[in-house]
Amino acid sequence: MRTFTLIWFGQLVSAIGSRMTFFALTLWAWEATGSATALALVGLFFQLPQIPTTLFAGVIVDRFNRKTLMLLGDAITAIATLMIGGLYLTQQLAIWHLYLVAMLAGSFSQIQMLAYQASLSLLVPQQHYTRASSMGAIVHYGSQIFAPALAGILYPVIQLSGIVGIDLATFAIAFITLLLAPIPQPSKTSTQSEPWTRQLTFGWRQVWQQPQLKALLLFTLMFVFAHDLGSALYQPMILARTGGSAQALASVSAAAGVGGVVGAVIVSLWGGPKRRVWGLLAGYIGAGLSKLVFGLGRSLTVWVPAQVCSSLNFPLLGSCRSALWMAQVAPDIQGRVFAANSLVTQVASILATGLAGPLADRLFEPAMMSNSGLANWLSPLFGSGAGAGMAVLYTACSAALLLLGISGFFVPSLRAKVKQL
C-alpha cells in the first residue's frame, strides 16, 4: 500500500488545484454568459473526445507502460491549464476557448484514468480493493472541501490567473510523486498479440460473456445518465436562485466535499460490505433520496445538509462498484474491459450533459416562469422565477436514481452477484 499511498497523496494535492481552477472558471463563465447551456457545454466538450479516445485507450493501457501514460496525462492537463492562464492574462479568453481546452484535456485524461484504474489491482491486495477505491473518493471529495473555499476567497484577490498558477504548482507535485513511485506492469498474455481489430472489441466480449458484469454495466449506464443530467444543472440552479452568489455555490460545493470525505473515511475504516452489490444499490437509494430533498430546497438551510447526505453515499457506491470490476477482471485485460465500461458511461454522460442545458433553458425554465398549468401545479413545491424549472428537472432525475436503486434488488443477475461475492 506504500506506493499507492504516495501516488494517492500526489493526486489529492493535484485535485485541489484542478478543482480550484474549475470553480474559478465556473464563476468566470457565469459572469460572461449567465447561461446554463454555456456551463453545461464545458463539461460536454470535455467528454466528447473521450468517446473516440476510449475506443483505443484500453488497448494502449494494456500494451504500454502505465506509469508513462499517467505522466503524459498529467503533463497534457498542465499544458491545457497554462493555455487558459495565458489567454486570461492577455485578455483574450472567451467561452469557446474553454470548450477547446476542455476537448484537449478530456482526450488525454481518459487514458490517464484508465492507466491508474488498471494499476490499482497490482498495487493493492484484493482484500483492500474497496478501501483503496474509497481513498480515491477522499481525493474527489476532499478537494471539494478545500478548493471552493480557497478559490472563493482568492478569486477576488488574485483573479483567475493566480488560481491557475496554484493549479500548476499542484500539477508539479503530482508529477514528482508519480516519477518516484514504482508501478508494476502486468505480465503479457496471448490476447495482447491479437490483431488490433479484435483487441478493440475484446473488452465488450468479456463483459457480454458475464451476466453479472453485463447487468452491472447496464445499471451503471442508467445511473450515470440520470445523475449527470441533474448534476449539470445544480450549479446554474444555485446561481440563479441566489442572484449569482459565489459564496452560496462555494458552501454547497464544500458541503459535498464534507459528506464525501466522511463517507470515504467510514468506508476506508470499515472496508465496505461483504455483499458489494448491496452496498452499491443502497448508495443509489441514499443518493436519490438526498437529492430529492436538495431539488425541493430553495435556500442553503436545505441545500447544505441535503448535499452532505447525498455525498455520503457516493464513496460507498463508487468503491463497491470499482471493487466488483477489479475482482472479476484479470489485471492484464483490465485496460480493455474497463475501457468498455468507461465508453458506455461516457456516452450516457455526454447525452445527459448535452440535454441538460437546452432542456432547462428552453423548456423547464420558461414553463415555470409562465402561467401554464405546469407552473400552477408545481410552483407550491418549487416556487417560480429563475431556477425553478431547473429544480423541477433536477428533482425528476433524483427520483429516477431512487427508483433505480430499489429496482436493482429485484434483478436476478444482480442478486446472483450478491450470492457469489
- 243-256 confidence digits (pLDDT tens): 888 788 888 887 88
pTM greater than 0.85: no
Q: Is 34 among the domain residues?
A: yes
Which amino acid makes up residue 193?
S
The structural domain count of the chain equals: 1
Burial class (CB in 10 A: 0-12, 13-18, 19+), 303: buried
Q: Is 373 among the domain residues?
A: yes
At 140 the pLDDT is: 74
What secondary structure letter does DSSP report for 128? Answer: G
Angle at 108 between CA 185 and CA 182, to 5 degrees: 25
Q: Is 188 among the domain residues?
A: no
Burial class (CB in 10 A: 0-12, 13-18, 19+), 31: exposed
Under a CB-based contact definition with an 8 Å cutoff, are residues 316 and 272 in contact?
yes
At 373 the pLDDT is: 67
At 19 the pLDDT is: 85
Rounded alpha-carbon distances, angstroms, from residue 331 to 119, 186, 417: 8, 6, 20
Q: Is 105 among the domain residues?
A: yes
Under a CB-based contact definition with an 8 Å cutoff, are residues 33 and 325 in contact?
no
What secondary structure letter does DSSP report for 385? Answer: S
Query: What is the Rg, in whole angstroms, of the alpha carbon atoms belonging to the chain?
Result: 21
C-alpha cell of residue 102: 476542455
At 166 the pLDDT is: 92
- 331-369 confidence digits (pLDDT tens): 777 878 888 888 888 789 888 988 998 998 888 888 887
Residue showing cell 458511461: 345
Q: Is 176 among the domain residues?
A: yes
Q: Is 310 among the domain residues?
A: yes
Residue count (the chain): 421
Q: Is 313 among the domain residues?
A: yes
Which amino acid makes up residue 298?
R
C-alpha cell of residue 60: 494502449
- Which structural domain range is residue 202 located in? 2-183+196-420
C-alpha cell of residue 7: 501516488
Angle at 320 between CA 315 and CA 325, to 5 degrees: 130
Q: Is 190 among the domain residues?
A: no
Residue showing cell 474509497: 134
Under a CB-based contact definition with an 8 Å cutoff, are residues 71 and 352 in contact?
no
At 193 the pLDDT is: 59
C-alpha cell of residue 163: 488560481
pLDDT along the chain (421 residues), means of 10: 83 87 83 75 77 78 84 87 88 85 81 80 77 78 77 83 91 90 72 63 81 88 94 88 84 84 86 84 95 92 94 90 83 80 84 88 83 76 84 94 94 61 36
**What CATH number should be reported for the domain holding residue 396?**
1.20.1250.20
